Structure 1
Amino acid sequence: MENVRATARPAIWLMLGIILVGLNLRPSMAALGPLLSAIRGDMALSFSLAALLTLLPVMAMGLAMFFGMAVSQRLGEQRTVLLSLLIIGAATLSRLFLDSAGGLIASAVLAGIGIALIQALMPALIKSRFPDNVALCMGLYVTSIMGGAALAASFAPWVLMQTGNWRTGLAVWAVLALLAIPVWWATRTTSPDVTRSDIRKESFFANSRAWLLAIFFGLGTASYTCVLAWLAPYYVEKGWSVQNAGLMLGFLTAMEVISGLVVPAIANRSRDRRLVLGALLGLIIAGFLGLILSPQHLSLLWPCLLGLGIGGLFPMSLIVSLDHLDEPQRAGGLTAFVQGSGYLIAGLSPLMAGVVRDRLGSFEWAWWSLTAVMALMLLMVMRFDPRHYARHMG
């Protein structure tokens, strides 16, 4: 019994570290949408330019994914995460002192690089350290990511109201890095740092199944990034206050947290994830249709449906990728490729929605486009039969 407890303690401590690290991976982006009106009132910032605040960090995340695994192999998992937390914390804190749109965009890109380095290595780390509970632990990790987004979206407007300064509302989230760094540092004694320079590097660029997984992840993440960037401004245009629009986005991300916890636990019962994926996409479609057709009526239902759908789809997209390969490092390489390519795809969606808003004067056309994308993803889900994974991955 004592041996079981002694073995369990390091695993619990590592999982706590992973959760605290995950909380740092979205506030730098999630705080922007609710504060956009205040930022635009202080800077010359069109909707198209404002979209760069989400697009560029997501694109940076995509590009950094391709060398994130190489960095972790050279520095080791522990030091890579510590370095990334320092980058994210510094980029977030720097917003206290920024006076230009260019500086704000640069801080977003820097944070995106730090985020990508963590996200590139974390799936492989989880698969290797928690091999019997991959779906559950991935759910906790991704839920913590969305929890960080929920905190930032909900409380950034409150910080603005208390301080009268949108810069403080963006910069205060550096405190999450201060919380995560000492806990992650402590895990080095319970989870030794390992470098894997001898691991064979595998390219997935010629694998059609890897591209299908990347496109699926990218299209799903496009819905997340668009909602993160534009839901709050959409409701401000409908006459809502900045604080209430921020709370609406916070409510949506809270639903993502619930779904991110529950859905992977349900999906853990079967290796065939298609039914769960189909149900999640159906929820997202219903949420977007509600935003378009009846935004002011049942106004809490639509973000609830979107949050439940998006919150489950994000971890399930990664879990399906991990399912394709049994060896943790190969699976980690595949998920790094999937996220890298996927984020490059998803990064374009906020810009396209911002351009649509500038040209057509409404976000509804962006919601219609995303509804069509989710319908396309329903067809893609049919290809994820676990009996054929080995054949597709060679």
Structure 2
Amino acid sequence: MMDLMVNEGTGTVASAKTDRDTNAITGTSATTATSAGGGTGKGTATRAWVPRLVAVGIVLSALNLRPAITSLGALLEEVRDGLGMSGSLAGVLTSVPPLCFAVFGVMAPRLARRFGPAAVVCAGMVAITAGLLVRPYAGSTVGFVAASALALMGIAVSNVLMPVIVKRWFPDRVGSMTGLYSMALALGTSTAAAVTVPMTKALGGSWQTGLAVWAGLAAAAVLPWLPLVRGRGAMTAPEPASVSVPVSGAGSERGAGSVTGEPHRPALRITRSRTAWALAVFFGLQATAAYITMGWMAQIFRDAGVPASTAGLLLAVTMVMGVPLAFVIPRLATRLPHQGPIVLVLGACGLAGYAGLYLAPAGGAWAWAVLLGVANCAFPLALTMVGMRARTGVGVAQLSAFAQSTGYLISIPGPLLVGVLYQHSGGWGLPIALMAALMVPQMAVGVLAGRDRTVEDEAAR
């Protein structure tokens, strides 16, 4: 399947333009590519495997974009006890991911122009590896948060650049590749939630070891990007001059179009676009729900009398729902003129899950975990809409950075407020009511963001 998508994503692009696209990301010149290949035939063979390597890099990187968070959620009680944190301070800890994503994510487009998207993602995977390896042994809350921030910085820049890499390398398969990336992300998220507690017990019961082991997966994700950035140095990654792809007919997907590089064009005034703002708020509210879920849901079940290992599995069920749906939803979204109906269905599942969590958290735990897992698939939908609401690679990069950075800023208070409400009310009634209330505006702005228009057109007006 991966080979098929790679071939489809590159087969309709003219050879010379594909060369420029490849060279823009790898940082090699046409002469270097031909020389390395030993001739035209070998150069063509080299170009054939590079997109496959990009696809492998996308999948491995996506696997590492959430274990830093969900592994902590599964062991939050042990970490709180080990570091002497209060409930409010734990709420601050669960707010660190969106804060880092907002602060560091906005830097991603500039870094990508300076060093190239592949080099920045590679550096991001290195940062994740270092942060996950150091934080369990930092010895204090401040050190733990600082090391977490290092890992989250790597996650932040990769979050923003993944849609850019997908749009550049697979312009007529935005839905399929976004689905593949989102599916891998959900798999990494759910796996960390499910196996962290039992793996910690198997490794001797130390929460430090249980958290540090995820650094190994991040280290593996560095490898596919190394050939793409080797010898690149400080070269920039210019936008491809022109990549034309079919927008209709067999095999095409909605959201594909032309990716036109305009390196000398002034920056898009993204804040003039209502769709960009709607997408940013939608992204922020779905991120609020996701980080509250990842940070607190296992604790909600544990406080309701569910054993710790079962609570971890319930969180894993919530996360694993994104594995199949993260592949289906982007493909469906790219075939619809308006993504509003998908937004409403996901929101309704979220409201039903919160209602069940409020009324019978232990009795219907598995059902609520499934419903909230479906609701969390607003994330791959938001990523898909980023690729659909802009016509150009430059536009996608700016929209991705704006929507994610602004969205993560919006999401910062949510997990913190849940921790404060939990500590001061002594229960989960008020926090769950807050989660349900936030779902209503999420549905409203999601419908606005799903309208068939582009940010370039709105900004120009």
Per the normalisation by structure 1, the TM-score is 0.93
Give 3-state SS (helix, strand or coil) of 2:362's partner. coil
| Alignment match of 1:75 (pick from 92, 115, 130) | 115
Residue 274, structure 1, aligned to residue 340, structure 2: yes
* In 1, Cα distance between equivalents of 2:177 and 2:187: 15
Shift of residue 355, structure 1, vs aligned partner: 0.4
Quote the residue 2:444 is aligned against: 379
Aligned partner of 1:61 in structure 2 is: 101
Task: Report the Cα offset of residue 196 of structure 1.
Answer: 3.1
Q: Does 1:258 align with 2:324?
A: yes
The answer to whether the 8 A contact 1:325-1:393 is kept is no
Are positions 1:171 and 2:212 aligned together? yes
Aligned partner of 1:234 among 291, 300, 303: 300
Assess, with a 3 A threshold, how the Cα gap between structure 1 residues 71 and 229 changes in structure 2: closer, same or farther: same
State which drifts further: 227-236 or 73-82: 73-82
Q: Deviations over 1:222-243 (max 9, x none)?
A: 1000000000111111122221
Q: Distance in 1 between matches of 2:211 and 2:452?
A: 46
Does residue 301 (structure 1) correspond to residue 367 (structure 2)? The answer is yes
Once the 2 structures are TM-superposed, how far is the Cα of residue 319 of structure 1 from its aligned partner?
Answer: 1.7
Structure 2 SS opposite 1:25: coil
| DSSP 3-state at the match of 1:31 | helix
Percentage of pairs with the same residue = 29
Displacement after TM superposition at 1:88 (Å): 0.7
Contact 1:256 1:309 in 2 (8 A): no
Query: What residue number does 2:258 align with?
Result: none
| CA distance 1:194–1:139, change in 2 (3 Å) | farther
8 Å CA contact retained: 1:154, 1:249: yes
Indicate yes or no: 2:282 matched with 1:216: yes
> Residues 319-354 of structure 1, C-alpha deviation per residue, up to 9 Å, x if partnerless?
223222110121221111000000111122110100
2:396 corresponds to 1:331: yes
Query: Residue 43 and residue 265 in structure 1: after superposition, are their counterparts in 2 closer, same or farther (change >3 A)?
Result: same
- For 1:25 and 1:385, locate their aligned partners in 2 and report how far apart those are by CA, in whole Å: 25
Q: 1:108 to 1:385 in 2, by over 3 A?
A: closer
1:374 CA drift (Å): 1.2
Deviations 1:8-37 (A, max 9, x none): 644333212101011111111111111112
Letter in 1 for 2:327: L
Distance 2:285 2:452 in 1: 24
Shift of the 164–381 alpha-carbon distance from structure 1 to 2, 3 Å rule, reads closer
Task: Give the superposition deviation at 1:187.
Answer: 4.6
Match of 1:321 among 373, 380, 386: 386
Distance 2:74 2:390 in 1: 40
Provide the residue aligned with 1:343 in structure 2. 408
Separation in 2, partners of 1:80, 1:48 = 34
Measured in 1, the distance between the counterparts of 2:305 and 2:124 equals 39
User: 2: CA distance between counterparts of 1:386 and 1:209?
Assistant: 8
Please tell me whether residue 185 in structure 1 is matched to residue 226 in structure 2.
yes
Rounded to whole Å, the distance in 1 between the matches of 2:429 and 2:55 is: 40
Structure 2 portions without partners, runs of 5+: 1-6, 12-43, 240-262
Aligned length: 392
Say which SS state the counterpart of residue 114 (structure 2) adopts.
helix
For the 8 Å contact 1:324–1:393, the answer to whether it is kept is no
Structure 2 counterpart of 1:44, which letter?
G
Shift of 1:365: 1.5
| 1:38 equivalent in alignment to 2:94 | no
3-state SS of 1:382 partner: helix
Q: 1:279-298 to 2 correspondence within 5 Å?
A: 279-298=345-364
The structure 1 residue matched to 2:419, chosen from 339, 343, 354, is: 354
Which structure exhibits the higher relative contact order, with contacts defined as CA atoms closer than 8 Å and separated by 6 or more residues? 1
* Contact 2:179/2:330 (<8 A) preserved: yes
Contact 1:150–1:254, Cα closer than 8 Å, also in 2 = yes
Q: CA deviation at 1:388?
A: 4.2
- Return the offset for 1:379: 2.4
1:86 counterpart residue number: 126
Higher helix share: 1
Letter in 2 for 1:30: T
In structure 2, do the counterparts of structure 1 residues 213 and 220 end up closer, same or farther at CA, with 3 Å as the change threshold?
Answer: same
Structure of greater Rg: 2
Partner of 2:376: 310
Equivalent position amino acid for 1:342 in 2: G
* Aligned pair partner of 2:66 in 26, 37, 53: 26
Read off the aligned partner of 1:272 and give its amino acid letter. H
- Partners of 2:125 and 2:222 within 8 A in 1: yes
TM-score under structure 2 length normalisation: 0.80
Distance 1:308 1:141 in 2: 17
CA distance in 1, matches of 2:449, 2:308: 41
Which runs of no fewer than 5 residues in structure 1 stay unpaired?
none
Measured against aligned partners, the alpha-carbon deviations of 1:201-254 in whole angstroms (never above 9, x if no partner) come to 334234433222111110011100000000011111112222111111111111
